[in-house]
């Protein structure tokens, strides 16, 4: 009997061991595979962030150098009134630049367009810039600990030099924003290893849980070091990992069961692909600044959706919005976009009540009263107030149910939301018909903006449109403004707000938020002083002056 029990037990043990081996091998393999995936993904993220950081630093430097080159071409090497004016203009049109100054032979400040240069400061490093003869790059710390990059440039044979100050923070991507990895750390250094700046907090231990990437700018010699957490939650808790694997196993069995029971899904179904992408959070907001063309200040932004695919490619809305509309997915997509904007830009926009944020709303959404409730709920907990929200309805699509649409618009306006007619002047229904909807803003289509000044008919149409808008106490925004002449014409016509490539293209969230910060008053002590306001002006203003 005792022998039997022993044999039975041994048999059992062998059976259990074989069972564990057979069942466990795929799990262990899966575990290794998962580890590899986490590691590779972390590395790819870190490499991508480093590449983006280098591109940002190169682009900032190029932008500042173009301005200094232009000033040097104008022989700006002294403190004459026209030279000061040229410096003022240069700083005015280039948001990253905080000040332009002339330095004497010993590096002393002779004059500048503001007086940041006069503030007490400490020179942390100075070195010639690779990839740009005549240039030196200094890292400077101001009395308030703020770190600045100073670019210096020789001017012809002059003993004096031109210098521009740029906050070091503008050379760094904002790692805390949604499109970067949370918990990531970025540091950028000069060629000689002096830190220009860092963002995020440097990890103190657990280096094993971090993916580390370093890249160097081929052009200017900067190096960027990026550390991103590599699935540290999973790596740090093995019990969690086993639990995760157990759940995965169960899910796989259920999925296999479903897979056998369900008919084959059509993988080529583009609507299913849109649904998948929506669930995976691949539709992200880009922001195109809307600018006050009289003062150069930011008035807000229009949110334009982008499909950021897993491979990093970016798809423009023209190729998926029509299908999203015809399939009815547009509603979920639009509200998902709004929620993303609330999370990503809510704090920044909420703090600045004068900024407005516009969303494109497909005409069909206005034919449903429940969107009034959904819009209110979406912004209920967001710092963005409903009075900052603008919904754009295009004039291109016919309005199916005019009475209902008008009611819904009135309901939205009751919440404080403002409604804009998009693509004004291009629709089939006619503008006067659209205006009967009782909207607050009209956006003049690019087609007319392009024709102003060249085509008498279009200019007359625009003038009529503006008169009409002003009589009805509506705001007017010009769209697709691409050059300085158009800005001048629009100003003459009395238009206040405009958007277009001449100011900025649609920007990813992190870049837009940087712009919002850069265009604010500088430093807390100078918050009331209008003179410290950085403004956004047409890119070719310097050339035109
Ligand atoms: P839209 O509302 O008229 O947006 C303006 C379009 O003009 C944007 O194209 C923008 O990138 C482009 N643009 C801006 N400035 C300039 C310029 O100076 N020159 C030129 N040539 N183009 C400029 P995008 O982002 O490709 O969007 C195309 C259209 O897709 C939008 O036209 C809008 O109708 C639609 N759309 C975008 N996002 C959404 C969304 O979230 N929901 C809905 N329903 N439609 C959207
Ligand atoms: Ca629009
Ligand atoms: Ca438009």
Find where tokens 């949604």 sit: 178
- Helix, strand, coil shares of the chain, percent, nearest 5, are 45, 20, 30
Helix (H, G, I), strand (E, B) or coil at 346: helix
Cα 356 from Cα 302, distance rounded (Å): 8
Helix (H, G, I), strand (E, B) or coil at 206: coil
Find where tokens 């203003």 sit: 541
Cα 272 from Cα 154, distance rounded (Å): 60
For ligand 1, atom 23, the nearest C-alpha belongs to 480
Residues in a beta bridge with 213: 226
pTM for the structure as a whole: 0.56
Give the distance (Å) from ligand 1 centre to CA of residue 353: 24
Find where tokens 């790596």 sit: 235
Top mutation candidate among 360, 422, 424, 538 for ligand 1, by most atoms within 8 Å of CB: 360
Best CATH choice for the domain 282-525 from the list 3.50.50.60, 3.20.20.450, 3.30.460.10, 3.40.50.300: 3.20.20.450
Give the distance (Å) from ligand 2 centre to CA of residue 362: 10
For ligand 1, atom 35, the nearest C-alpha belongs to 317
| Tokens read off for 115 | 């007086």
Predicted pLDDT at 485? 93
What is the mean predicted confidence (pLDDT) over 97-125? 82
Quick: pLDDT tens for 37-55.
Answer: 667 777 777 888 788 888 8
- The count of C-alpha atoms lying within 13 angstroms of the C-alpha of 353, restricted to the half-sphere facing its C-beta, is 4
Which of the four pLDDT bands, split at 50, 70 and 90, describes residue 388? very high
Predicted pLDDT at 497? 97
Beta strands in 312-470 (DSSP E): 314-315, 356-360, 389-394, 418-424, 441-444
Q: Quick check: CB of 360 below 6 Å from ligand 1?
A: yes
Report the relative pairing of strands 441-444 and 109-112 from DSSP bridges.
unpaired
Give the distance (Å) from ligand 2 centre to CA of residue 360: 5
User: Which residue did the predictor score with more confidence, 242 or 4?
Assistant: 242
Give the relative orientation of helices 330-350 and 509-518 as an angle to the nearest 10 degrees: 30
**Dihedral angle computed from the Cα positions of residues 6, 10, 15 and 17, in that order, rounded to the nearest 10 degrees:** 140
Task: Count Cβ atoms below 10 Å from residue 237 Cβ, excluding itself.
Answer: 12
Predicted pLDDT at 128? 87
Give Dmax over CA atoms of the chain in angstroms: 112
User: Which residue did the predictor score with more confidence, 468 or 374?
Assistant: 374
Predicted pLDDT at 405? 95
Which of the four pLDDT bands, split at 50, 70 and 90, describes residue 263? very low
Given a cut of 80, is residue 109 above it in pLDDT? yes
Confirm if 422 and 394 have CB atoms less than 8 A apart. Answer: yes
Given a cut of 80, is residue 231 above it in pLDDT? no
Kindly report which listed range (66-80, 271-285, 308-322, 515-529) carries the lowest average pLDDT score.
515-529
Domain range annotation of the chain: 1-258, 282-525
User: Which residue did the predictor score with more confidence, 297 or 464?
Assistant: 297
Which of the four pLDDT bands, split at 50, 70 and 90, describes residue 239? low
Quick: pLDDT tens for 81-101.
Answer: 888 888 888 887 777 888 889
Please provide the DSSP assignment of 225-294 as one string.
Answer: EEEEE-SHHHHH-HHHHHHHHHHHHHHHHHHHHHHHHSPPP-TT-HHHHHHHHHHTT-EEEEEEEEEETT
Alpha helices in 74-171 (DSSP H): 81-93
For ligand 1, atom 34, the nearest C-alpha belongs to 360
């Amino acid at each position: 009997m005792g022998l039997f029990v022993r044999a039975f037990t041994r048999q059992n043990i062998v059976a259990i061991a074989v069972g564990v081996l057979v069942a466990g091998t795929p799990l262990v393999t899966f575990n290794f595979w998962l580890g590899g995936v986490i590691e590779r993904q972390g590395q790819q993220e870190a490499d991508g962030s480093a590449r983006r950081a280098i591109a940002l630093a190169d682009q900032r430097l190029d932008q500042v150098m173009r301005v200094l080159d232009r000033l040097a071409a104008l022989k700006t090497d002294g403190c004459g009134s026209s030279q000061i004016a040229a410096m003022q203009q240069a700083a005015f049109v280039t948001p990253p630049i905080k000040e332009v100054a002339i330095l004497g032979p010993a590096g002393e400040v002779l004059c500048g367009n503001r007086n940041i240069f006069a503030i007490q400061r400490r020179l942390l490093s100075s070195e010639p810039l690779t990839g740009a003869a005549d240039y030196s790059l200094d890292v400077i710390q101001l009395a308030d600990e703020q770190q600045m990059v100073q670019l210096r440039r020789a001017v012809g044979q002059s003993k004096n030099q031109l210098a521009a100050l740029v906050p070091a923070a503008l050379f760094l991507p904002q790692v805390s924003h949604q499109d970067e990895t949370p918990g990531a750390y970025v540091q950028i250094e000069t060629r000689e290893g002096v830190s220009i700046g860092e963002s995020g907090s440097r990890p103190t231990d657990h280096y094993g849980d971090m993916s580390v990437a370093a890249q160097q700018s081929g052009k200017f010699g900067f190096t960027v070091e990026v550390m991103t957490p590599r699935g540290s939650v999973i790596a740090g808790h093995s019990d969690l990992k086993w639990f995760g694997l157990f759940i995965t196993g169960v899910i796989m069995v259920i999925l296999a069961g479903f897979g056998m029971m369900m008919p084959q899904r059509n993988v080529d179904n583009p609507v299913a692909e849109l649904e998948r992408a929506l669930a995976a959070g691949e539709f992200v907001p880009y922001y195109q600044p809307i600018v006050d063309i009289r003062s150069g200040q930011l008035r807000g932004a229009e949110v334009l959706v982008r499909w950021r695919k897993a491979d990093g490619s970016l798809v423009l809305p023209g190729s998926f919005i029509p299908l999203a509309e015809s399939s009815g997915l547009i509603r979920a997509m639009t509200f998902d976009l709004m929620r993303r904007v609330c999370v990503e830009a809510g704090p920044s926009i909420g703090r600045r009540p004068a900024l407005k944020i516009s969303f494109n709303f497909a005409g069909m959404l206005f034919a449903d009263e429940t969107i009034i409730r959904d819009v209110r709920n979406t912004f209920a907990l967001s710092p963005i107030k409903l009075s900052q929200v603008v919904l754009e309805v295009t004039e291109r699509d016919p309005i199916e149910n005019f009475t209902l649409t008008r009611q819904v618009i009135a309901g939205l306006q009751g919440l404080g939301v403002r409604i804009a007619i998009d693509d004004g002047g291009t629709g089939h229904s006619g503008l006067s018909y659209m205006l009967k909807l009782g909207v607050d803003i009209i956006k003049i289509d690019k087609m007319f903006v392009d024709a102003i000044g060249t085509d008498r008919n279009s200019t007359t149409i625009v003038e009529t449109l503006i008169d009409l808008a002003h009589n009805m106490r509506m705001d007017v925004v010009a769209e697709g403004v691409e050059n300085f002449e158009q800005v001048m014409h629009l100003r003459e016509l009395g238009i206040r707000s405009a958007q277009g490539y001449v100011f900025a293209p649609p920007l990813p969230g992190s870049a837009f938020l940087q712009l919002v910060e850069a265009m604010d008053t500088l430093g807390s002590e100078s918050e009331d002083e209008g003179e410290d306001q950085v403004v956004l002006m047409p890119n070719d203003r310097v050339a035109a002056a």
